[in-house]
Amino acid sequence: MKNGDESKKTIAVMFGGRSTEHEISVITALQIIEALDIVKYRPIPVYVAPSGKWYTGDALLRREFYRGMPDTLNSVQEVTLLPVPGTGGLTVLGSKTKKSSSFALFGGKRDESAEEIIPIDVFFPAFHGSFGEDGCIQGLLELADVAYTGSDVLSSAMSMSKYHCKKFLESHGIPVLPSVLLSRDAMGQGADLSVLRDQVLNTEKFDKFPLFVKPAHLGSSIGIGKATDKASLDSALLKAFKYDHQVLVEPCLDNKLEINVSVMEGQESKSSVVEIPVAEGGEELTYEDKYIRAGGKKGGQISQGMAGLSRVIDPTDLDPTLKVNVKNYAMKAFQMLGCAGVARLDFMLDLNSNQVYFNEINPLPGSLAFYLWSHSKPPVLFTDLTTNMIERAFVHKQQKAALVREVAFQALLK
């Protein structure tokens, strides 16, 4: 190993995955790797391709790699994480392991007698959406008994299920808009949309348009739609069901303001400044607003993910009392859901009634919402943000290690 590397912790930044938010995850992961404290940590990229296969190698650090897929996958090493405690890291797969140590890909020395394991100290999930942000990967990390950043299985799953998250937080005094949860199975074999449409329109407070339709378990504004009549409701439902088996329908506020805030875990969790995101057309934020128009290639610039969205950070003309209320709701929601690491919570302000409603929580926000923390008082740098998440991962691992896990075969022996 290179001189000085012995004291560094190896951090496996995991990204990609089987999600419609795949490319946004890649952007977030590359931002995290660039922000990590290189004095303390040695990052290893772990890319989960849309096929579900895992890969690692320095080539993954370059954006050009992803433009050349799938051919470029031949230049990196396939790995996996076994759900076996004590494995110690990533298991290398394939015939390449017989010829060269994959650990040497990252500056290590080959040990002919060693198992083909890439040692990992902390796993840093940077997934967005299904199979990564929703508790799935967290379940694997728990089975492997490894240290990892961010929220655990239950917190992640609850946070990513919009309906269940809202109902849970509503029971703890956080205001939310009324909603109707629809299941694709309810349409029957004939896929009759009228059944679901009637279910919505016959629900109290849902007998008039406009209505807002969105997949129940996705983010990044994917699959969302606004219904202004029965025909557009059918269209919005069909669009949302392309991405999820459950769909959420809510009243659409006709005069609203979106307000977002981030919460960071610590011995005492704290909130960032708030922001008002700005949509291109003055309506709801779209995927294009978030990642392509403002956050994508513009004037030759490279996409910065959520960090590139047009926004007003810590708006001076927003009522200070309103800012405090949003932060308090966010802190309470973060705590009640049992979240960890850093999250971004999105709220809506009904300008007609001055009522704030919780909209959703992103348990692993795009760009880790570092742009909100860099403007906080005092500011928190992106590097400090990632360091805090890694240090908290070690704390959680120690807390779990203190629990009794012994298996006693008393009943079987009687």
55 contacts: CB under 8 Å, gap ≥ 6:
46, 47, 48, 49, 73, 76, 77, 78, 79
User: Any idea what the CATH number is for the domain that residue 192 is in?
Assistant: 3.30.1490.20
pLDDT digits (tens, 9 = 90+) for 218-260: 765 788 999 999 999 999 999 999 999 999 999 999 899 999 9
Same domain, yes or no, for 200 and 224?
Answer: yes
Tell me if 16 is assigned to some domain: yes
Query: What is the average pLDDT value for the chain, to the nearest integer?
Result: 88
H or E element at residue 332: helix 320-337
E-assigned strands of 7-49? Answer: 9-16, 41-48
Q: DSSP states of 160-184 as a string?
A: H-HHHHHHHHHTTT--B---EEEEG
Cβ count within 10 A of residue 185:
9
Q: How many domains does the chain have?
A: 3
Same domain, 279 and 240: no
User: What is this structure's pTM?
Assistant: 0.86
- C-alpha to C-alpha distance for 1 and 23, rounded to whole angstroms: 32
Per the domain annotation, does 167 fall within a domain?
no
| C-alpha to C-alpha distance for 82 and 88, rounded to whole angstroms | 10
> Does residue 172 lie in a domain region?
no
CA–CA–CA angle 150, 154, 156 (5° rounding): 45
Please give the residue range of the domain that contains residue 217.
Answer: 180-251
Q: With respect to residue 169, please indicate whether it lies within any of the assigned structural domains.
A: no
> Do 299 and 358 sit in the same domain of this protein?
yes
Select from 251, 276, 303 the last residue of a domain: 251
DSSP string, 53-108: -EEESGGGGSTHHHHTTTGGGGGSEEEE--S-TT--EEEE-SGGGGTS-GGGGGTP
The reply to whether omega before 210 is within 30° of 0 (cis) is: yes
Domain match, 237 and 270 both? no
15 within domain boundaries: yes
Judge contact between 248 and 179, C-beta under 8 A. yes
Which DSSP category does 148 fall into? Answer: B
Residue 321: CA count within 13 A, CB half-sphere: 2
pLDDT tens per residue across span 323-335: 999 999 999 999 9
- 390: in domain: no
Region of 86 (left: φ > 0; alpha: ψ -120 to 50; beta: rest) is left
Question: Is the same domain home to 188 and 122?
Answer: no
Has residue 397 got a pLDDT over 70? yes
Whether the bond between 215 and the residue before it is cis, its omega within 30 degrees of 0, is no
Backbone angles phi, psi at 292, to 5 degrees: -115, -50
Q: Which of 251, 275, 290 is the last residue of a domain?
A: 251
- Residue 297: its pLDDT value, please? 45
Q: Is residue 173 part of a domain?
A: no
| In a shared domain, residues 190 and 76 | no
**pLDDT tens, position by position, 365-377:** 999 999 999 999 9
pLDDT score of 217 more than 50: yes
The total number of residues written for the chain in this structure: 414
| 48-87: pLDDT as tens digits | 999 999 999 999 999 999 999 999 999 999 999 999 999 9
Same domain as 267, residue 209: no
Q: Is 186 helix (H, G, I), strand (E, B) or coil?
A: helix
